[in-house]
Chains A and B, each alone.
Chain A
Amino acid sequence: MAYIGIVITYIFINNFIFTQFLGLCPFIGVSKNSESALGMGMAVTFVMGLASLITWLVYNFLLVPLSLEYLQTLSFILVIAALVQLVELVIQKNSPALYQALGIFLPLITTNCAVLGIALINITQGYNLMESFTAGIAGGLGFTLAIILMSNLREKLDLQPVRKSFKGVPIAFVSGGLMALAFMAFDKALLSNLLG
């Protein structure tokens, strides 16, 4: 039951884009067409899941025993950067098709706030290993949902007459804001109604 709660929380209630503002750069930058939006979403979900697992292990089996908790930011970002490089190499070697789809997005992910964000959130929320992994995947799925919705909207917007100064990024922000307004319908009350 707790896992369902985590999934719903990170996909809808605490959506990374619409309520927490983590990962906005790719949300605006890579949402021009729906194909690359899907690729970016998948890549982020994959890395967020893996990063949640590994940073949890690093924190609980390395930093806590050595009482080096203050190094968490430094060690997490290094772990994530190394992980992204590793994932890129493995995918490139074993699955050229997947590399074609995700390859160009992987380097961008190191500096995606959402990945470091979920690693830090897992620690502050005190999740165990499986809960961290679930939160990572759910956070990634929430990001994917947001970026796919946005890219479909922007493809439609391209065909509409938009004032010159609003073209491109500004109208994307305004429509993102309206979408966030819709996401406000998902709140803690929804969770307690669903799970009792």
Chain B
Amino acid sequence: MANAHLKEFTKGIFKENPTFIIMLGLCPTLGVTTQVVNAIGMGAGVLFVLLFSNIFISLLKNVIPNSVRIPAYIVIIASFVTIVEMVMHAFAPSLYESLGIFLPLIVVNCIILGRAEAFANKNSVFDSILDAIGMSVGFTLALLLIAALREGLGAGTWTLFAIGSFDGVIKIPVLFQYPIRIMTLAAGALLIMGFLKAFFNWKTGRKRG
């Protein structure tokens, strides 16, 4: 029994990773990964929205009529996105600025509507919570990987949160002097995504073979 619950959690991280395996929610994935800190912020935003929308949709699954379920899901998701927007605007204004348009666009992130439709409206609240956390962690890890590669290669830095005297920027020795600028630009994002997807295809293909 415990194993079954654990599976709901871990499947989002590896086997059904939303970014690399199911390939959902690609726009924010490439749009915000110019800096590591943006990836963390985006991951946190998606975690909050997905967690609460999954909980509410799972609770309301017997109340919402089948024919209007998609609009109902969208209203629930958009409400939580608005909350995230306001909270981030108030407490992390610089993050709010750098995420820009991709923050309200969490509404149309296919991962969230996809989990509502494919999971939360069929399963218990507890399983939906595990599913939401697993999926968001998988999404955040994928964003972190892409952002670390893009910012590391493209600028030679990893930007994290500033704490005390630490300004939040880690410099990578050689790459900082000779950055590959293209990686932080649009073209680099698409190239890195292509190579990463090919890498995951190769890995899963080898495991099966």
Contacts and interface: CB of A to CB of B under 8 A. Distances in A.
A174 B194 contact: yes
Given A18-B186, A166-B198, 5 more contacts: A117-B101, A120-B101, A170-B194, A177-B191, A184-B186
Interface in A148-196: 163-167, 169-174, 176-178, 180-181, 183-184
Q: Is the interface of B mostly helix, strand, loop or mixed?
A: helix
Interface residues of A, number: 44
Contact of B110 (A19, A111, A170): A111
Interface of A: 18-25, 28, 70-74, 77-78, 81, 110-113, 116-117, 120-121, 124, 163-167, 169-174, 176-178, 180-181, 183-184
Contacts, number: 124
A73 B26 contact: no
The number of chain B residues touching the other chain, given as a range, is 35 or more
A84 B101 CA distance: 22
A70 B74 contact: no
A180 B187 contact: yes
A31 B74 CA distance: 27
A161 B184 CA distance: 30
A117 B105 contact: yes
Interface of B: 23-24, 26-27, 30-31, 70-71, 74-75, 78-79, 81-82, 85-86, 101, 104-105, 107-108, 110, 113, 182, 185-191, 193-195, 197-199, 201-202, 205
A188 to B, nearest CB: 15
Contacts of B182: 181
Contacts of B24: 25
A113 B27 contact: yes
A21 B27 CA distance: 5
Q: Is the interface of A mostly helix, strand, loop or mixed?
A: helix
| A-B residue pairs, 4 tightest by C-beta | A173-B194, A177-B190, A177-B191, A174-B194
Given A70-B82, A78-B74, A169 B186 contact: no
10 contacts: A18-B186, A25-B26, A74-B75, A74-B78, A78-B78, A116-B105, A170-B197, A171-B194, A177-B191, A180-B186
A184 B191 CA distance: 14
A170 B195 contact: yes
B197 A77 contact: no
